[in-house]
Amino acid sequence: MELDGLGILLGVKSPWVLKNIDVQHHTQVIDVYIEYERGSKFECPHCGELCKVHDGNVKRIRHLDLFDYRCYLNIKVPRISCSKDGVKVVHSTPWDRKGNHYSLKFEALIIRLYKEMSASAISRELGEPDNNLWRVFNYWVDKDIIQKFDFKQIKRVCVDETAVKRGHNYISIFTDLDTGKVIFVTEGRKKEVFELFYGWLWDNGGFPGNIELFSMDMSVSYQAGQKEYFSAAEVVFDRFHIKKGMNKALNLVRIEEVKRVESLKKSKYIWLKSEAKLTENQAGRLEQYLSDSTLNTTIAYQIKNKFDQLWNVQSYAIEPMIEKWIQEATSACLKPINTFIKTIRNHYNGIVKSIKTGITNAVSEGLNSVMQLARSRARGYRNPDNFIKMVYYLGNA
Ligand SMILES: [Zn+2]
């Protein structure tokens, strides 16, 4: 093979020279040998002084395949002799970084593949152990995503919890409400996650005192964490979570009534789906139910509809309208509804703010698809840290 041509492709230039290529046809491996020119000087990794080379050690790293051949670069990495610092290994060459098995281009390929397939599939495809792949992945997510955040700019934050595997291993995800970027991910969903976020901001050049607002669900632990670590921030409860509470109450009323009213069986989604999304058959059944105003479920359904309408009310009328709704809802004397009203009372300010500001966790709604993708991409992720890095990666893609 023509050395000069390959040298250009590999970007070999002074003080580096392409010394040799060794093609092993039986194993389909190509070894490329790169050295530095005699008399070259390199910067001391400690003080930056240009220093003479003391000696060199060959490092063999995997590079992008060449046709059907696996390609390795054998780079003679110099050790310089510094008058101040003594003999030191030069940290990186134009093709690699310190202490890794792969060239930078090969690492970039790994990172691209993480977007398209699971870690175990990449491992099979490239024939590299997944431990190594995860190490590369974690390094670049740290360097290219996390370290590039400007945490000083963050003012409004969404917090969401989600399961790593369905039903267990919860993580909390903090998203910048203004950019939609995933800024902090940690295991757990207790109040401690706020302590960790607080520390994370400090460690990364942000100021916890800058955070003006949290949008979150109504979980007791989140509220406790916010109060303890971000007491100056406002809280807005997420619309989706508030409405979920109302829907749950409606469904509980139905479940109670099914015991007496046979026809309510298997009608859960008729009540919970938005009317526009019902099939013709379902819409017919709903009409039938609603014509019977003695049904508790019908009463609860109307309460729920009025509740939903609170989000369309003009700002100045919100609080009176909530009061009016509470009065009407209370007069229905339905236990699950009363429990929900208690929730409203206990979270009053955050709910009013939700309606007034229209702020929701919707920016993190894309998070559902991110999480789904993360679960499949991170198959065989080995430890929660890898999974968490995957959420940063996909959540900022
Ligand atoms: Zn030095």
Residue 84 Cα to ligand 1 middle (Å): 5
Kindly report the pTM of this predicted structure.
0.85
Greater model confidence, 373 or 125: 125
- The structure tokens 């080379």 sit at 53
Residue 57 Cα to ligand 1 middle (Å): 19
Q: How far is CA 361 from CA 57, 171, 217, 239, in A?
A: 54, 16, 9, 8
Residue 41 Cα to ligand 1 middle (Å): 12
In contact, 161 and 170? CB cutoff 8 Å: yes
If residue 23 lies in a helix (H) or strand (E), which one and from where to where?
strand 16-24
What average pLDDT is seen over the chain? 92
Residue pLDDT, tens place only, 45-84: 999 999 999 999 999 999 999 999 999 999 999 999 999 9
Residue 76 Cα to ligand 1 middle (Å): 20
pLDDT the model gives residue 100: 85
Residue 193 Cα to ligand 1 middle (Å): 43
Say how many Å lie between the first and final Cα of the chain, rounded. 39
Residue 78 Cα to ligand 1 middle (Å): 14
Residue 107 Cα to ligand 1 middle (Å): 29
**CATH 1.10.10.10 correct for 148-238+361-386:** no
pLDDT the model gives residue 114: 92
pLDDT the model gives residue 370: 83
Greater model confidence, 380 or 20: 20
Q: Which residues, including other chains, have CB under 8 Å from residue 10's CB and lie 6 or more apart?
A: 18, 32, 34, 63, 73, 95
Residue 51 Cα to ligand 1 middle (Å): 8
Residue 37 Cα to ligand 1 middle (Å): 21
Domain-wise residue ranges, the chain: 1-96, 148-238+361-386, 239-357
Residue pLDDT, tens place only, 312-356: 999 899 999 999 999 999 999 999 999 999 999 999 999 999 999
Q: Quickly count: other Cβ atoms within 10 Å of residue 166's Cβ.
A: 7
Residue 81 Cα to ligand 1 middle (Å): 8
Residue 43 Cα to ligand 1 middle (Å): 8
Greater model confidence, 33 or 358: 33
In contact, 361 and 216? CB cutoff 8 Å: yes
The single-letter DSSP state of residue 24 is E
Q: What percent of the chain has pLDDT over 90?
A: 79
In contact, 285 and 267? CB cutoff 8 Å: yes
CA distance 98 to 61: 11
Residue pLDDT, tens place only, 86-127: 999 998 899 999 878 999 999 999 999 998 898 899 999 999
Residue 61 Cα to ligand 1 middle (Å): 26
pLDDT the model gives residue 346: 94
Residue 45 Cα to ligand 1 middle (Å): 7
pLDDT the model gives residue 99: 79
